[in-house]
Structure 1
Amino acid sequence: MKIVTASEFELRRDVDYGTPEQNAAVREIVAGVKKEGDAALFRYTERFDGVRLDAGGIRVTEVELKAAYEEVEPSFVKAIRGAADNIRTFHARQKRNSWMDLQPDGSVLGQIIRPLQRVGVYVPGGKAAYPSSVLMNVIPAQIAGVPEIVMVTPPATGGREGIDPYILVAAAEAGVSEIYRIGGAQAIAALAYGTELVPPVDKICGPGNIYVALAKREVYGAVDIDSIAGPSEIVVLADDTAEPAYVAADLLSQAEHDEMASALLVTPSQRLADQVAAEVERQLAALPREPIARASVEAYGAIIVTGSLEEGIAVVNRLAPEHLEIVTRDPMGLTGAIRNAGAIFLGPYSSEPVGDYWAGPNHIIPTNGTARFSSPVDVDDFIKKSSLIYYSREALLQNGAAIMELARREGLEGHARAIEIRLEREAKGETSHGE
């Protein structure tokens, strides 16, 4: 793992919007599903997934969900239930209520909060299946009150046998019963525009490959999306009290996700830097996903040696990482100085996987430096808000002139006259809407 100074480190923040060929392919797929519906959906599924679907086989049955429990270990079911409980407990604290405020003049101002009606959750296959992501998407939506939650996942996440049973069990435990065996850009298009067999949704969330990300960008506006997520990333801010083996293991926990994942150590300790570099190499040799992790470490990994811990904090804020671990003498004392990070893990025992799977906070976190302006998925992602205005006669008489002044300064005479006609009739006593 290369060791560099802060001045030598080059920040790479490349948002992957795909090649021209990938974008063209996604536009073709989305347009095809939008125009042809299920016929295109079946055609693309056979082409890209090698699975021939029909109207009777696109939706996962209750029998399949029950059968999945026979294929997974009881220990997994116990673990997924424990994780679900923690996630529900954490996200329940985020729920907000509608409110109204009665003004002295009799007007009422407020905000009405309603859940989205229907949400689509994408669960990827590919390099790995992620049952935990099912919980992280579904549970906040449930707490928000979303009545219809639908899941899509490629038809062969478990190989030729079909959908990965661990994904199905996670879905069943989360309470999702509407599941379709479709994936890729074609699944995103189906969720956005609907087909004969797949009703459209209001929002699409969940990670996926580049084609899924581009498709989400393509359909945004017809539906809402969570984000266009980039590869996973971790930054460990550590001093000489950190255990090198722990730091190396946590860096590799993210590097094994993807060849483009980013794993960085920021430290003022040259000794720690040298030890972690050696430990990363030692642990890499025994990692099952060593080829992926090694490619990530070599292309996007680094150990950044700073002149001080304060300089290290400045580097962290510039990086705005998805995951930040602070492993120092006083990690809690440094938290206030961190302005940009998606999730912050404090101390030697708060390893990043604790957040990925168990603690309760959401593991769907902004990447590519977007923690500068965005947040992890939470209950607010699944609600919409309506402003409420009940204006009294007294308030309009008092403020009508100011409203007309602003409207006319913007050249909108019709706006001004909508107020003026009311004021004139009130002045003449012609209104029939007395209070």
Structure 2
Amino acid sequence: MTLSSKGLRIVGLGVGLFFALVLVAQVIVGRTFSASYLEGFLEENLNARAEVEKVKVNLLARRVTLHGLSLSPLEKVPGPTGVEIGQVRLGVKALPLFSRRLETTSFVIVDPIIRMTLDREGDLSLAQLFSKPDDEGGDAAVPTKEKSGVLEAKENRWLAKLGETRLQGGRVEMTFEKEKMLLKVEDLAITINDLQFDPEDLASLNQVQLNLKAGTRLLDAEGNLLVRMDLDGEATGKLFDEVTGDFDADVIADLALGQDSYLNPQIKIVRRIWGYLDQVEKVGIELGSLPDRIDFGRSRRITGSYREDVVRLTEPLSLSVGKWEVGLARQSWIETHSGRHEIGVEFLAGDQISDTLGGWLDALPRNVQNLAQSRFVDEDQVLWRVNSSGYLENPEFDYLSQLPEAKGLIKELENSFEEEVDKLRDKADDFLRGLLDN
């Protein structure tokens, strides 16, 4: 046997021995991180009943995969509540596995189904599952206003060390007990591009940046579609409360709306505002009936923030309601758990401004009409505004008409145009006199 063949044989034996050791180690680690062990671990740290169908450990790929993970409430909750996940893929460091420690380097959630209920008091049922069990009896720790005990920064500092964090194929169903509505989120995809926080100094370091894509549907008790929004964009902000260290998202999002996004005009608040605006017809404006659907307007974007259960628009949201262009005003907000709100609905001058203003422009010169249309439309001139406040089930309305200002602006434009015509006429006269004098 030649030296080279002996060398190759040694290499082959070495490779074979390596894989044999990997298989032995994988069996040991696989038994260590069995489904029953992980179920017990989860139940010790959560206030939920945990089930794991199977666990696969791949030391070569440094990956632990949980199949069929589900979390369900230990006690009765107001409505549908629970988590079902097709797969949880964890990138891990190999050596700590032998000490029953998971040092995670990546975190991928595949095909999750999340169900939750917002009860009549404004409490979210899912929060119970992620609260810490009481040390003595294992019952849910009672969340306080000061500290909820849900996903604390200090106990989850490993999140900041992840190289890859994403969720794909997600589905969320949120039941609103009081309003008897159902929010469905389908094809949810979230990729966290940047997550940095210091549990000891959250005021200095506490930031997240992520991309989000989802199809959202809001249905009433009869299953009628009220709102459809297909969202795609990014969000930035903070994940943890700087004082308590608990999970408390504070984010700003800029989301594009898909072409098929729309509102159903049968939404109660829309019908109430439209009915309230009947008084507009008294000043010569024909409001018209509501269309079959309300489409999103020019920008087709939602830019807003979420903090302490309050969703707030940081930029106006444009809607197309029949021949009207309507804007939800900047700083309009709604408290998600109670329905308390302040929403400004602004009727803007659309492209058909002559019809919109009841034919006021028809008697003016064409140049003045064009100038007025450009001025109104390009600058989003508000013709009138309705402010809705209080609670969604019984809102209060205030009406503010800006039509007199519109009339004044048109008169101002007309006068400016006539002044320019007079100047041109004077210049023409001077030019003709100069020709005649010569």
TM-score (norm 1): 0.20
| Structure holding more strand per residue | 2
Kindly name which structure, 1 or 2, has the bigger radius of gyration based on alpha carbons: 2
| Structure holding more helix per residue | 1
